[in-house]
Amino acid sequence: IGALAVLGYTVYVNVVPYPAEGPARWFPVVAGAVLALGVILVLAAPAYARRVGERLTSVDGGA
């Protein structure tokens, strides 16, 4: 839960104030879409997410 709070705070600090014009206006939208897609994938396929996590742990040496 603490990690989610840190993630939420980081997103908030980087978005407020929302960019008014230029290409920076789309950065928060794209980042939010990537975060939402990741959450949806983890919730939709928890077994796959677990396998990916195990593979990453084994590649990293279990650290």
Q: Quick one: average pLDDT of 15-19?
A: 81
Using CA atoms, how far residue 57 sits from 17, 35, 47, 51, in Å, is 37, 21, 15, 10
Q: What is the pLDDT of residue 34?
A: 92
Q: For residue 8, is pLDDT > 70?
A: yes
Domain boundaries, the chain: 2-59
Q: What is the pLDDT of residues 32-63, one digit of tens each?
A: 899 889 889 888 888 888 888 888 888 766 55
> Which of the four pLDDT bands, split at 50, 70 and 90, describes residue 6?
very high
> Is the full-model pTM beyond 0.95?
no
Look at 34 and 3; give whichever has higher pLDDT: 34
